[in-house]
Each structure stands twice: as structure tokens, then as C-alpha cells.
Chains A and B, each alone.
Chain A
């Protein structure tokens, strides 16, 4: 009998640690103010590292990694085909053993996928991301009885509503570098692919043309648009000058460094987030970390006015994250963190009384 548990092949290693070292606190006990006195809190972690077995699912994940194929399990009695193959025996048929069956890499969405804007700790930096469930097609042209959760992507900028809906035909594409896990694959709408791409199995990520934001053209700016853009620059400058007066707003931008070029139909400018501060540049920055494109600069102006001027309970502008999710602000890569941090600043300015609310603002406790 083979020596079980012995490593027979090394992992195709990823180069980063499982969790970011920035998530690990330093040892220490701090005094915190409570309602009726001072209390102690200790920095700690609930820490258990894993060599987590993939057990009976290993075959499925190896097929993703090594073959670029998906398989399910079919019950020989009731003929149900399940994907992913999450069990080996069919309970409806009193646990008769199911048979492995490869399925096509095409299928349809069970429902409109959802888009995560605020992610759990270990998925920070991946937002916005779409997740949805797919019924895959079987060799006989039918659909699987169960659906598989996958990441859904678009070739045209960041994921946003309107790209997918219930029944959208999709193709499962494969990452070029695969490790044997669910993130090795993702769905793309079939209508975004060429006939040749659709015919290819497995279709690799590198074989898909991903939209490039720098190619978005706005045409020559009108005098009015340029004027609006100038107002945007002035208001961003005003916002930047308020931030050092607000400890909360400074904390919102702490431990984050990004250079950003903002492109609009009224022209281009730059933003730099560094050391808890925001700087505004008249022109776009060279080799920016992030490019943000928005057709109409007055969209940004509305957000800035809400952020820097006293308003009542009724804030008129959507949050920047909502503008991304709705597709009004388009990012060149799916990295929402900079925008999320900027979105927290206006509330912080109010809470620190740097911007005074016009009416008694609701003391809103929200989970985000």
C-alpha cells in the first residue's frame, strides 16, 4: 500500500502568502474608552494554517488544471447529472454509485449574476466581482440538473449590470496558469466571443481580447465641458485640503498608495493617494496604477458637491462605487479599493465636523 499523505508533486506555487502580512496585527494590549470607563482589548488572531485535503474532489480539480475540462456525476438510475460532482452516490436512488461524465464548456445562467462591491477580508482587492450559477450542456444537448457557481466576467471593462441575465448563454474559459481550484475557470457571455473562440476547448484567458480602457475616445472637449472639468479639479482640491482636518478621513486613506488618471470628455487630470492624503494633479499621471474614465465630468462634480458642501439628509449623488457598478465610471481593472476609500471620506468629514450637516444628520449605523 502506498504511503498515504506523502507529497508526490509540488504545488505550482503562487508567489504570495495565503493572507497578506498587513492583516496580521502586532502584539499589544490597548486601552479603549467604553460607555462607563476604560477597558482593555488585545490584538490577537484565531490562527490555524491548513494543508486542506481536496479528497474525492481532487479528480475534478485535476481535470480543471491538467485537462482543461469539466465533469459531473450522473446517476445511472434517475439519470440526473450533477455539476460540480459534489457527491459520489445518488441519495434519491438510495445511494447508487454515480458515474463520471464530461460536460461541454457551454451553458446558461440560472439567474442574473450578482456583483460584490464590498468583499470579505480575504477577497479585498478583487472587487467588483460577479458570481453566478451555470447549468452546463451535456453531450446529448441537454442541461445538467444542478448548477455550478462561477465567477462571471466581461471582456468590456469592469463587471456591471446588463451584461448577464437569466438564460444568458455562456462559455467557461480557463486561466492560462491553473492550480486545481474553482478560480481556474470563469464564465464569459458567448455573444462577446468570436466564432473561433467559441469553437475552442479549452478556451484560454489569453485567447480572449480583453477591452482596453485607454482606447476609449471622447472627442474634442467643448468649452462648457472644459469649464466643468476645471470645477471638478477645484472641488477635488477643496476635498484634499479638508482631509488633514479629519482623523477619520485621514484613516480612510491610510496605508494606501495609488496614482490615478481620470479621463473625461472635458479633459484629463490626476489624483494621488499617499500617506493618508489626497493630491490633485492638473494632468493625468505617468504610468498610473488606475485609470478611471467617465464621459460626463458633471457626474464627478455632483459627488464632490455632496461631499464638500453642507447638505441635508438627502444626498443627491450616488456613491462612486455605485457609479462603477452601474457602468458610469469605468475602471481599467477590477480594483475598487481606491474608489471605496474615497467614498468613505465624505461621511468621515461630516462625522469629524469638517463638513457640517445642514440638518441633524441621522446617526446611521451601517455594516459597511
Chain B
């Protein structure tokens, strides 16, 4: 396998709703930013991968078809990836493999999503319609008819973890993480919740969405796009000669999807109190990169829900399972701690445009690695029912 580098990145601002832009325009904005950031012409790009999670959000089946020509990849291959919440990370994995296999030297990976055009005319609110649209991701025979949906599903995992580890995921630890992510988001110029201040006290008094998860512990719905340019080592060297900037290297990738149905045997079914996919994916990615979790200085983690962020960090081995409160109580992820988590504000404060959220995470991790002189970063994506999809990607900055 060939080495793969990220040579450019481009973002649109994250907004809850862009009445001013369609997803075509958002896609073009991000791609334009990315090629200019990389210092290349779009005609040099040989192929593309488009991450779009949900056709209904885009109001079009095969929504990526309109991109051909708009993003400058006419008469070249463009593959759409859709993998639940982890769509962005899986799209990156596909693009990385196109380069690593030697098939292409320069590949564009783009993630884009609309969401808030969905509207419940009865409730006169977007929210129930957006939740329903995501809810269509559950199976139509056994679970969706019962009202299973994203918050319900993740809350099941969170509650099962708390049953297994009483006292962990303590309300105050969770609230402090929300407060921290809010502060960190203020350093992200594209963050959806720029200018907000959310305190731990507000979190503790916010409403339940699905008991035991409160509204201020959940990610936002976002419209936006992010594009990245992946290059072979040879191409990365040429681009470096043009721009004078060192690329960031993709040195480890891992992915695992847990089974849909819950059971008692982790080798065959989803065990409800685990996010085993995150455990397996991270382990694979770290092994491939030849590093340990302790070597990672920044993690941009897919925080669909704050308690899930805590479980994921435990599954990754940052703390033992059952000791996730230590992330706050031992100051591990607090300012001055040994690990920087979600400097972008994550999906709770930065934004969650599903098809591209994990690319936003990558954009942010690269930015922090350059600004803070860090060697290793980790990108994480999760998604689908019960947080069953997991992807981990190791980034490396070679001085």
C-alpha cells in the first residue's frame, strides 16, 4: 500500500439552515476552498468520493449526480458513500484506498448535507421532521414501528453502560464536557454555535430529549460541506514544492460495524453496554500506524451525544471502561490535560452536517496539529442504530 497524504482542506461555515444555498452550491464552495488551500487546479484531481448520508435531507435520490460538472470532475469517477453517521469517515476511507492502492494520485473527498428543509407542518417545527427523517434509518419491521430513532437508540447504549458501570457518566462530568466543548468551539471560525456560552449549570437544568439524555448533551443539526484532497506521496511531494507546506499523513485506518440486533455474545451480536465498533476500529488504526493511544495528542471524536463521547474515549483506551468520569475528574481532557478532544467544538458545538462532519473533524485536527506542533491525531466516526458503525483514522505530521 502506498502512503497517503492530505494536501488540502476546505470548509463552509456550519449553519442550522442555509436558505441562501442549495447542497450543490455548498459542495462547490467547499471544493473551491480545498483546491485553493492545496494550491492545485481541479483538473489535476483524478477522481472523487462524495459523502452524503440521507437522500431525504437532499430531497433527491442519487443526490451526488448533480455534482458531476459542478465540482469539476466531469468524465472522471465519482463514487458516493453513505454509511449513517459515519458517512464522512467511510468516504475518507474509500478515497484513501483509491490512492493507497495506486489507482489514483490525487483524489477529492467531499461531504455535504442539508437537513433543516425538512419540516413538520403539523407541529410547525423542523425538529420532529428531521428526527423522523433520521428515524427512517431503523428497520421497518421490528424497531422503527416502535418509535426507535437516533436519540432513543444512543440513549439505550448510554443507559446500558450506566447499568454496567453505576456512577460513571456522572451528570457533572458530562456537563463540564459540554461547557469545555462550547469554549473550544469559540476558536473555530466555522462553528455553528459561535458566540454561545453554555454553562455546566445550564446543562444540568436542560430538558430531557430521551431520558437519560438532556438536550444540551446532544449534537446539533447542521447544513454545510467540507472537502479534502488526498494525494500519493509522489504527488504530495510535488505539491509541497509548489506550496512549501508539509502535508498531513494518513498512517492508520480502521473500521468495524457491529451487528444490528442486541444479544449476549459480543462476537455475534451487539452488546448493548459497549460501543465495540469504536474499540475494534481504533485498535486496528493504531496498529496500522504503529502507535499506541498514549501517543495521540488530539482526537476529533464524533460526539453525537456527550455520554457517548465518554464511552467512546473509554473504548479507545484513553481511560478504562467504567472510569470515564476521570476524563474530567483527573483533568485528562481539560485545558492543560494530556489529551485535546474536539478543539472544533465537536458535533455538539461545531456542527453535524452528517455526510461531512468527520471531514470537518479532520480539517480541525490538521489545523491543531500545525498550530500546536503535534505529531499524532485521531479522527473518529460513529453512526447507525445503537452507535454500531465505527471508523478511526490516524493522522501524522512529519516534521
Contacts and interface: CB of A to CB of B under 8 A. Distances in A.
Interface of A: 20, 22-25, 32-37, 39, 41, 43-44, 46, 52, 54, 57, 61, 80, 82, 84, 86, 92, 110-124, 126, 129, 131-133, 135, 143, 145-151, 161, 165-166, 181-183, 251, 254-255, 313-316, 318-319, 321-322, 325, 343, 362-368
- Pick the 3 closest A-B CB pairs, nearest first: A111-B160, A120-B132, A146-B263
Nearest to B134: A120
A120 B222 CA distance: 18
B201 interface: yes
B155 interface: yes
A46 B59 contact: yes
6 contacts: A82-B263, A86-B142, A111-B160, A131-B146, A149-B143, A255-B122
Contacts of A365: 16, 192-193, 196, 220
A335 B159 CA distance: 24
A35 B211 contact: no
B197 A39 contact: no
Given A92-B268, A118-B210, A149-B146, 20 more contacts: A22-B122, A46-B59, A52-B140, A54-B141, A112-B160, A115-B210, A117-B209, A118-B127, A118-B128, A131-B152, A133-B262, A133-B272, A145-B269, A148-B142, A149-B143, A182-B143, A313-B201, A325-B208, A365-B192, A368-B127
Given A251-B124, A367-B220, A110 B209 contact: no
Interface string B11-35: 0000010011000000000000000
A41 B18 CA distance: 11
Which one of B141, B149, B151, B159 has the greatest number of beta carbons of chain A within 10 Å?
A: B141
B156 interface: yes
A315 to B, nearest CB: 6
Interface string B295-314: 00000000000000000000
A191 B99 CA distance: 60
A119 B131 contact: yes
Interface in B176-234: 192-193, 195-199, 201-202, 205-212, 215-216, 218-221
Contacts of A165: 163
B251 to A, nearest CB: 33
Interface in B263-292: 263-265, 268-269, 272-273
A61 B198 CA distance: 47
B124 A254 contact: yes
B146 A151 contact: yes
Contacts of B215: 366-368
Contacts of A44: 59
Contacts of B162: 112
A327 B216 CA distance: 21
A82 B127 CA distance: 35
The A contact surface, by secondary structure, is loop
Given A165-B163, A182-B142, A122 B132 contact: yes
Nearest to A119: B147
B293 interface: no
A61 B19 CA distance: 44
B268 A121 contact: no
Nearest to B349: A365
B122 to A, nearest CB: 4
Nearest to B20: A34
B56 interface: yes
Contacts of A150: 146
A166 B160 CA distance: 8
Contacts of B66: none
A108 B117 CA distance: 42
Contacts of B163: 111-112, 165-166
Interface string B116-150: 01011111100111111011000011110111110
Nearest to B209: A118
B354 to A, nearest CB: 13
B303 to A, nearest CB: 14
Contacts of A325: 208, 211
Nearest to B158: A114
A316 B206 CA distance: 10
A145 B152 CA distance: 22
